[in-house]
Amino acid sequence: MMKTKRVAVTSPQTRLARSRRRVRGRWRVPRLDPADTERARGLYRAQRGPALISVVLMFVLVLGLPVVFAVWPGLDRLRLLGIPASWLVLGVLPYPAMVLLGRWQLRRAERAEDR
């Protein structure tokens, strides 16, 4: 059985990032082919919109918590396992939501890069 070598196709952005790590001393912007330049611009445009949506959703999540507490002040009186529900909402809810938002954004960016 013959093994085939798998060739990884990297985006222009990834090649630029990797070239920055290898260079010691003063870094110069590498020149891209016109086709790679256009592809990098297209990727930037395709990823910019979903990234802005993710940032807005994160701010709504974090800045919306005070609104939730203002609308439902009874969360301080409600207790789960002896802990006020407001503390649980503030200390537990944002972190898994941010992780899920980050994974969602990463998948959308990778999908745009694969196209």
- Ordered DSSP codes for 36-103: HHHHHHHHHHHHHHHHHHHHHHHHHHHHHHHHHHHH-GGGGT-EETTEEHHHHHHHTSHHHHHHHHHH
Q: Summarize the confidence of residues 1-20 as an average pLDDT.
A: 64
What distance in Å separates the CA atoms of residue 37 and residue 43, rounded to the nearest whole number?
10
Q: Is the pTM of this model over 0.75?
A: no
Give the Cα separation of 91 and 93 in Å (integer). Answer: 6
Kindly list the distances between the CA atom of residue 98 and the CA atoms of 11, 58, 93, 105, in Å, as whole numbers in the listed order. Answer: 26, 7, 9, 10
Please state, for a pLDDT cut of 90, what percent of the chain lies above it.
11
In this prediction, residue 100 carries a pLDDT of 92
pLDDT tens sequence across 23-73: 566 666 677 788 888 888 888 888 888 889 999 999 998 888 888 888 888
Looking at 10-19, 70-79, 81-90, which range is the least confident one?
A: 10-19
CA angle 4, 9, 110 (to 5 degrees): 125
Structure tokens, 50: 């979903």
